[in-house]
Structure 1
Amino acid sequence: MIYDQRYVVAGENTELDCKILQLQYTGNKLSMIFLLPNDANGLPELESKITMTKFKSLFSGIWRRDTIIRIPKFVFEAKYDLKPVLTSLGITEIFDLQTANFAKMTTLKPVFVNDARHKSYIEVTEQGTEAAAASIIGLMGGSVGGPFQFVADHPFMFVIRDNNSGTILFVGRYANP
């Protein structure tokens, strides 16, 4: 378990009935956002309620505050075969030796895509998060009324987001803290 106290964006969302913790990556270009249901068994309900519109509005009513953070150390690794996904979207010609056309990319012939895979890797430790060669940092600070408590001692969701575009880069769930 990671034990820390930082000045971070954190709070509660009553509509989704969850606590939110946002940790900035170095350079503030990316954030790791944790969504912790208030009910220890509430992750399935949270997952069913969350939409892109609700995700975008998560941060209204929460602010940067002194926060006690308790999150488990974990490694998340997933591998996906993208060929079925791409072909279901109608992207088939790149996989066919006869129809693939990569003339603007290479002079080699014949060229086609024989495999398309995606691998995701996220590691959360006391030193931060490793995902796409980024590291989380935080500032220490104080607030009136005592620190906010974010204790992830039951299943939660996490998201890695590009702060400039709002693009979600990773979505995951941690089911066994």
Structure 2
Amino acid sequence: MVSADALTSETALLLLSSLYFQGNWDQQFSVSSTRKQTFYNHGKQQVSVDMMFASARSVNYGKSDLLNAQFLEIAFEKHHASMVVVLPDQLDGIYQLETKISEIFNFRDFCPGTVNIWLPKFRMDSTFNIDKILQQLGVKDAFDETKAQFSGTVSCADCHSPYIGKVTQKTYLQINERGVEAAAGQVVHVRVPLSGGRKQFKADHPFLFYIKIKDVVVFIGRVSAF
């Protein structure tokens, strides 16, 4: 979580906070059904990606005409957690969706049913310094050596009042046929059925997703390009 070059002679304290989640899908994708298919990077450029497939039963599906998007909730084992994928109707519709995050979280018009799902395998690994973001949100005095107030947090002889020097966020996420992160599990082979009126959910262009545990959102992200 912390690289050596992030520490200096002025570093007095590190506050580390982490969230780790590993889960298998309640209905796993079939490895043998994963195929190379087209994904539209940023809604424009066509690239070939590994696209997973599953004909899932009793999954929550919804469509919002207000948001111009489809919603799909994929449950993990034991149904304590799930991932919601939000797919805009337009190839480049993700940019409008990102301005309506509160409406996305408040969407509840789901109906259970059988859905043919195409979802690309992907992995996210990124590191961001979020000092400026926090200050733009109003957290300013904590970064100011003359204004920071952390009395009671650190106490020692000849110590100055501490202040925040840097805030870093690191993210790692992997989605595959078994679930989130690499995990052992039985693979159920499912053939691609005829549609027969079933809902079709094909994430072949940029989409948003969030993971929630007992209705508490713990992670939100987007896939816009490979």
Question: Once the two structures are superposed, what CA deviation does each residue of 1:73-100 show, in whole Å capped at 9, x if it has no partner?
Answer: 1112332213333444234347749956
Larger Rg: 2
Separation in 2 of the partners of 1:99 and 1:47?
33
Separation in 2 of the partners of 1:3 and 1:121?
23
Structure 2 equivalent of residue 163 of structure 1: 214
**How does 1:1-177 map onto structure 2 within 5 Å?**
1-7=51-57, 8-48=59-99, 50-52=100-102, 54-60=103-109, 62-88=110-136, 89-93=138-142, 96=145, 101=150, 103=152, 105=153, 108=156, 110=159, 112=162, 113-130=164-181, 146-165=197-216, 168-176=217-225
After TM superposition, the score normalised by the length of structure 2 is 0.58
Aligned alpha-carbon RMSD (Å): 3.2
Task: Determine what percentage of the aligned residue pairs are the same residue.
Answer: 24
Task: From the superposition, tell whether residues 69 and 114 of structure 1 become closer, same or farther in structure 2 (CA, over 3 Å).
Answer: same
Task: From the superposition, tell whether residues 28 and 98 of structure 1 become closer, same or farther in structure 2 (CA, over 3 Å).
Answer: same
* Structure 2 SS opposite 1:115: coil
* Structure 2 SS opposite 1:84: helix
Question: Once the two structures are superposed, what CA deviation does each residue of 1:2-21 show, in whole Å capped at 9, x if it has no partner?
Answer: 11121211132222121111
Separation in 1 of the partners of 2:148 and 2:91?
52
Q: May I ask how many residue pairs the two structures share in their alignment?
A: 161
Deviation at 1:119, TM superposition (A): 1.1
Question: Once the two structures are superposed, what CA deviation does each residue of 1:10-60 show, in whole Å capped at 9, x if it has no partner?
Answer: 132222121111112344343211111122232223334x241x2244222
After TM superposition, the score normalised by the length of structure 1 is 0.71
* Structure 1 SS opposite 2:91: coil
Instruction: Give structure 1 stretches of 5+ with no counterpart.
Output: none
Deviation at 1:120, TM superposition (A): 1.7
Deviation at 1:123, TM superposition (A): 1.1
Task: From the superposition, tell whether residues 93 and 51 of structure 1 become closer, same or farther in structure 2 (CA, over 3 Å).
Answer: closer
